[in-house]
Every structure is written in C-alpha cells, then in structure tokens.
Structure 1
Amino acid sequence: MYEIEETGGANIGFGRATWPFAKLLVNKNELQLNASILGNVYFRPSDVISIEPFTLFSGTGIKINHRVGGYSEKVIFLTSGSRDLIKRINDTGFLSNSDTLPAEVEARIIKYQSSGSFPLKWSAVVIFGLIWNLLFLGDLLGYFGNTNNRIPIGIGAQMALAFAFLFALAILLSEPFSRLVLKDGRKAKELKSFLFFLMLISGLMFTIFSLFTR
C-alpha cells in the first residue's frame, strides 16, 4: 500500500505545534495527524470534505476540511510545498476511496474520534497543574525558606521542575502510569517528541536554578 509520511508543524484549534512536533501519515484508508501534546486526529476518507493549500504569516501548509464533530474545525499541517503534498495525498487514493474500510482500521478510527484529539485525561492535567503551581507558590510564600528572592528559584521551583521531568519520564517508561494519565487507547509514543522536549527543558532549568540557589 502506497503511504506518505511527513514531518512538520500543526495548528489544531487554538494550539500550535512547531516543527518537528507534528507528523502527517496518509494511506488510502486513513489520514492521521499526530501533533504530540496538541492531539492526534484520525480521518477516514468519508470524513474529509477537502484538503486545500493554507497560508499563515509564519508559513504555509494544508488545511483539512472535515466533518468530524468532536474535532476542532481548524486542523492544519504546516509544511513547505503544500501543493505537491496535496498531489501526493491524492496519489495515495485516500481522497477518492469509497471502499469499505478494513474492520481494524474502522475500529481504531472510531476509538480515536470518540475520545477527542487531546491525548491526556483532564483529571491528570488538573492534578499536574495543581502540584506544579503549589510548588512554585511555596517559594513565593517562603514555605521553603526562599524569602529573599523575588523570582521563584528556590527549592520549590527545583521540586516543580523535577516533578515535570519525572512525570514525563514515567509516561514514557511505565505502562501503568501512562494508562493512568492518557485517554483509553492512546499510547506514550504519540507524545514521545513532546515528552523528550519537556525532559530536556525541565532538566536544563533544574540545573540552572540549582546554580542560583547555591
């Protein structure tokens, strides 16, 4: 089966993923746009009304006009050579495919579409946000002995960054933990690029903040 795979950026709703945090995969049966933490959207051929070139102030790409109610109307893949990409998508047979999809493909698309595009459970997002903010707030209020600094670079900030690093690492390495925080059917590999980026940034900031608090 002829299949294309492209790396780029994406806009889904009000969220944006820059290159290389989005990946587009298309074959004759499905179109998948994986935008890491922004979400993973799946389309069958009958879900797509049209695919058109799209120009944004920061770049060009393609806009996927669709009829899936649970997804944002704004689904854009950002890449250069948008017209050539549309031709290549057409060459896969996706846009003209009216055949009945294989049962496993249909089941996967139904499962993804029913849970929406955002991959994390909202309860996990709320708990992460509460812990993160409480640790920084502890520094601001002096609970960790950081009463002289006007910016939160005390023990609380270091704990928040370590928490973010370990949270991302646990999703990658622990299947029970990933099942706890990800929606049903979602996999850690869908967020791999974002999780590695989060670990890099939090680890780097932890090192810098540690130097400030010596």
Structure 2
Amino acid sequence: MSKLAIHSNKVIVEDKAIDATVFIEDGIIVAIENGLVHAEHLVDVEASVLMAGVIDPHVHINEPGRTDWEGFDTATKAAIAGGITSLVDMPLNASPVTTTVKAFDTKLASCFDGNTSKLHNNVGFWGGLVPGNAQEIEPLIEKGVLGFKAFLTHSGIDEFPNVTEDDLRKAMPIIAQYGLPLLVHCELSEEQLSSGI
C-alpha cells in the first residue's frame, strides 16, 4: 500500500483555502486534516496551492489519423502541464470518427505505442451520433463512452455528418436509458431554416 501526505497552507477545500495536510493511499485521498500533521512520507509544499485536478470535457485529440494536428501524447502532456488531470475526447476529429465500436477500438488502441501508454492523465471519450448509427449506441456505452455528440448542421468533418430529427428520435431514448448526456450543436444553416426545419 502506497501512502503519502502532502501539506500546504493553501489547500483548496470547497470555497476556501486552508492550511491542511492531505493524506493519500494508493492514489486516493483518504483524509484532510487541519494544519501540518507529521507523517512518515510527508511532502510540504508550503505556500503552493494544492487543489483537485481540473477536468476538461471538450477536447479534440485527433488520434488516430490526424496526429499532425494533435495526438494523445502531446494533448495529455499539455493538459498535465496546465493542471488538467482529466480530458474527455470529442468523437469527430480522429480518423476514423468515433461512431462505431470498431472505430472506438481503433481509438483505444491508438492510446498505446506498443505496450507503452501515450496517456499522461485520465482520458474519457464521447461517442458520435450520426445518421444510421443508432444500433451502435448501446455497444459504445458498454465499451465505456461517457455520452454522445451530434450536429444539426455540417460538422466540418465529412465523415461526421449532421443528424436529422428522425436520428435524434431514435437515439435519445436509448441514451436516456443509461442517463448519459447528448451534446448537440444546434446551429441550423440558412438552407435548413428556409426549408422549415
């Protein structure tokens, strides 16, 4: 069992900074005690701020397929450097886009270079909702996606076409069964607006 205690006079707890010692066992915070509490493995960071990591739920990591833009190694290193401990990757900028289990498996495999992880922090994934992939929703959920993303207008990525009202009506009850979010870019083009959509 790995045990660590970290002391700071600026531990962020709820809505304030306090002088406290944070006790961690096996990577999990197990206690926060006021003041400097001596422990076998104590790191005193003094006036440095000690706070929970930031979660960024809207990140476009372009791996696989477009790593010249951004890949898992560079994205997660940059995040950690800025105090972001968890990212959630959007489904549309990789190739293939994350709209099927097969594509999701390809994305998961791209998180590794052989047996070595390219990840330097926690990473979660959004699944993509596109026309005709309602049958992929439950399998993607079972594989671990955290929710779904869709567009009502062109996404800017040809492999990630916009959904219709019919697509949404098929998908929303399935996603709702699992209590997961559906993020929708709800902008409509002039053409869509003029056709009465």
TM-score (norm 2): 0.26
More strand by share: 2
Higher relative contact order (CA 8 A, sep 6+): 1
TM-score, length basis structure 1: 0.24
